[in-house]
Amino acid sequence: MENILNELNPSQREAVEHIDGAMLILAGAGSGKTKTLTARLAYLVGEVGIDPANTLTLTFTNKAASQMRERALKLMPTKVSYPPLLCTFHKFGLLFLKFHIEKLGRSNSFVIIDSDDKKRLLRSIAKELKIDLNISFIASEISKYKNSLLSPEVVIQKAELADYKKVAKIYALYQANIEENNLVDFDDLLMLTYKILDEHPELRKETSNRYKYIMVDEYQDTNELQFRLLEHLCSEHGNLCVVGDDDQSIYGWRGANIRNILEFADNFKNTKTVKLETNYRSTNPILKAANTLIEHNSTRLGKNLTSHKGEGEDVKLLHSLDES
């Protein structure tokens, strides 16, 4: 394990060796965040002696989860009692619902519908109601409602503009339909998981005590529902380590809430903040230009990237009539 730690820079090692309590790792582009996360998971299991079954690492894509799992397992002792759970938020929701959806009065033989299935159902309902709205718009709005934990009843009550009142009607029939047919859409995987944990304190306590060490990648991309879910998952211990970069938050259009990372230290007690500011990808002139530009952002926690590579060619500004 010491060999692994020796391969880390001081900031990375500081993050890896922090065990208990909340931690925010502000990781600039090219600063080795994946290396830090996988090394920390291996350190918890191989050095500290945490049972792998008591860890949970959440990512946003299956590809990222697969790569991190592979790297982490290579760093761990050859004999681990149980492989650590390292998956996407939605895969975790699926696994949870398979065991606990009956608490909502539903069977665990539910079927997951994809976006095409969802749009077909919405198109049928819209036709039934004689509503002529763009189906992609309707699907997007319903997804936003679910990720903001807004029920059809609340949306119907709050809708003011004519189009949104129509969407609210469709949402109510859509949700009734999928529940009646024991269907689950992509957003339900997290919304229903949250609902079960929120309504069953004993199960919430049991689940939190099972996953005593939680890590989250790309935290700047989390939305309101994912934040609320994480609050429940770490409610018994507060051992939540998140990695993210407030300067790379580009998914606000799909519900990501930049406040989750900006206000992390306010939301979780005694947060330790570690900044990964050594960039292994670019030279100093590139980073100087990037730092100068991003300093104009008014809502950021602030960090200053320096290059491991050192000096290089000056940045050139190229003009072109189109992207080709």
Q: Which domains does the chain have, with CATH numbers?
A: 2-96+190-279 (3.40.50.300), 111-181 (1.10.10.160)
State both tokens at 206. Answer: 């049991």
Which position has the token pair 């100087």? Answer: 288
- Tokens 């208990």 locate to 20
CA distances from 224 to 66, 98, 194, 261 (A): 25, 23, 11, 11
Asked whether residue 228 carries a pLDDT value surpassing 90, the answer given is yes
User: Closest by alpha carbon to 283, among 315, 317, 244?
Assistant: 315
Higher-scoring residue by pLDDT: 321, 146: 146
Q: What is the pLDDT of residues 59-94, one digit of tens each?
A: 989 999 999 988 888 888 777 777 899 999 999 999
What is the C-alpha to C-alpha distance for residues 103 and 126, in angstroms, rounded to an integer? 31
Q: Reply yes or no on whether the pLDDT at 302 is more than 80.
A: no
Closest CA to 246 of 306, 293, 303, 286: 303
pLDDT on residue 1: 66
Task: Tell me: pLDDT of 296 over 80.
Answer: no
The token pair that represents 67 in the structure block: 């790569």
Percent of the chain with pLDDT over 90: 69
> How would you classify the pairing of strands 85-88 and 240-244?
unpaired
Is the CB of residue 4 less than 8 Å from the CB of residue 39?
yes
Q: Sorting pLDDT into bands at 50, 70 and 90, what band is 315? A: confident
Average pLDDT, whole number, for the chain? 92
Of 24-28, 107-111, 144-148, 282-286, where does mean pLDDT reach its minimum?
A: 282-286
Gap between the Cα atoms of 32 and 69, Å rounded? 16
Q: Single out the residue of 257, 227, 233 nearest to residue 95, CA to CA.
A: 233
Alpha helices, DSSP H, located in the chain:
2-6, 10-17, 33-43, 62-75, 89-100, 115-128, 135-147, 152-158, 162-180, 188-199, 201-210, 224-233, 259-262, 264-267, 284-294
**The two three-digit tokens of residue 191, written as one number:** 């919304």
pLDDT tens-digit series, residues 4-43: 788 899 999 999 999 999 999 999 888 889 999 999 999 9
